[in-house]
Amino acid sequence: MTPEALEAVRVQLFGKKGELARFQAVLRSLPPEARPAFGQALNAARSALEAAYGERKAALEAAALEARLAAEAIDVTLPGEPLAPGARHPLSLIIEEIEEIFVSMGYRVAEGPDVEWDRYNFEMLNIPKDHPAREMQDSFYLTEEMLLRTHTSPVQVREMLKMGGKTPLKIICPGNVYRRDTDDATHSHMFTQVEGLVVGEGVRMSDLKGTLETFARRLFGEGTKIRLRPSYFPFTEPSAEVDVTCHACGGAGCRVCKGTGWLEVLGAGMVHPKVLEAGGYDPERVSGFAFGLGVERIAMIKFGVDDIRQFYLNDARVLRPFAADLAGPPLATAEAGVPAGGRTAPEETGAGPAASGLE
């Protein structure tokens, strides 16, 4: 019997127009002397029916519960479903590669805080309060004197001060930086830099150039060349923008390098005497060079990504193929005849950068 059938029986027996109600009406129509006997018989019948109904109802409910327990049973002794393996974030992969290159050249990896004093972020880097260079880095201030660092350069001063005037100082510092920027395919209000700093006796511009040349070859491949273009940073003098030959076309000019054959990857220069002084060094006795590179930019070049926002989606399906890529030969995409940067954005395919045809 189903619960529905039992309910139909209940209505048929106990309902307002049911059997028992009908007998109740009969009872009322009987002559008074006939009523007690009829009433007793009716009550006995009602009790018997109610008991039978209750019993059947309980039995049905118990059966239903049993069936549900059986259906929903979990066998805790079964092995779990395996999770797909995770993947290193592409930016972490690039940072690690950069760290390895510089550590092999005798550098130490340093770190500084994301929340920084105005003093370190600007003032001690020769960017006083009303300097126009502040304007180029529209910033997130927490208080008048405290902000989210706009670059990793404040770590230069922090590390110099820790040295107490001693040389040599050779560090790189990876980390997040923040600028009040409108996010688009090539801009993000938060991005990642790696700062480099060397201070010692007789450190020259040629040392900077040689260092960056070695770095570029190790990161982008043996044939890579660099060029320095004169530029301006308040904390370096002279200053340069550094380009590397486009790895996608080898310098011939293509879509990735917008036909120029070069890709800008970092800013650099000789540490300004005022910055050396702020760091507790005598600029008459020591000199230094510094550089700052954008990790996203390098990752975009190496992985052929054309939208910086891909790195911040935190979607393992998007990120995993980057990791798989780096495990293979570098520039695998270009070698396979697929132009780097020719991948479909994940928003369109929902499948991540797998359009290289290699996966």
Among 95, 157, 242, 268, binds ligand PHE (CB under 6 A): 268
Contacting ligand PHE within 306-335 (CB under 6 A): none
DSSP letters for 329-356: -TTHHHHTTPPTT-PPPHHHHSS-S-TT
Does residue number 102 form part of the binding site for ligand PHE (CB under 6 A)?
A: no
Does residue number 151 form part of the binding site for ligand PHE (CB under 6 A)?
A: yes
Contacting ligand PHE within 220-259 (CB under 6 A): 233, 236
How many angstroms separate the CA atoms of 309 and 298, rounded?
14
How many angstroms separate the CA atoms of 152 and 196, rounded?
9
Q: How far is the CB of 217 from ligand PHE (least distance, A)?
A: 21
Site track 111-150 with ligand PHE (rule: CB under 6 A), x = hit:
----------------------------------------
Spatial contact of 245 and 223, defined as CB atoms under 8 Å apart: yes
Q: Specify the stretch interacting with ligand PHE by CB under 6 A; choose among 2-10, 184-192, 284-292, 310-318.
A: 284-292
Structure tokens at 314: 């935190």
Nearer to ligand PHE, 151 or 170 (CB): 151
Q: Give, in order, the Cα–Cα distances in Å from 58 to each of 7, 45, 63, 65.
A: 13, 20, 9, 11
Q: Specify the stretch interacting with ligand PHE by CB under 6 A; choose among 67-75, 89-97, 262-270, 276-284.
A: 262-270
Q: Specify the stretch interacting with ligand PHE by CB under 6 A; choose among 51-59, 202-210, 214-222, 263-271.
A: 263-271
Structure tokens at 111: 């770190």
Total residues at interface with ligand PHE (CB under 6 A): 10
Spatial contact of 197 and 227, defined as CB atoms under 8 Å apart: no
Does residue number 153 form part of the binding site for ligand PHE (CB under 6 A)?
A: yes
Among 110, 249, 290, 305, binds ligand PHE (CB under 6 A): 290
How many angstroms separate the CA atoms of 197 and 221, rounded?
23
My answer on whether omega of the bond before 90 falls inside 30° of 0, hence cis, is no
Q: Which residue is nearest to ligand PHE (CB)?
A: 292
Which H/E stretch holds residue 242? strand 236-245
Q: How far is the CB of 221 from ligand PHE (least distance, A)?
A: 24
- What φ, ψ does residue 237 adopt, rounded to 5°? -155, 115
Interface residues with ligand PHE (CB under 6 A) are: 151, 153, 233, 236, 267-269, 290-292
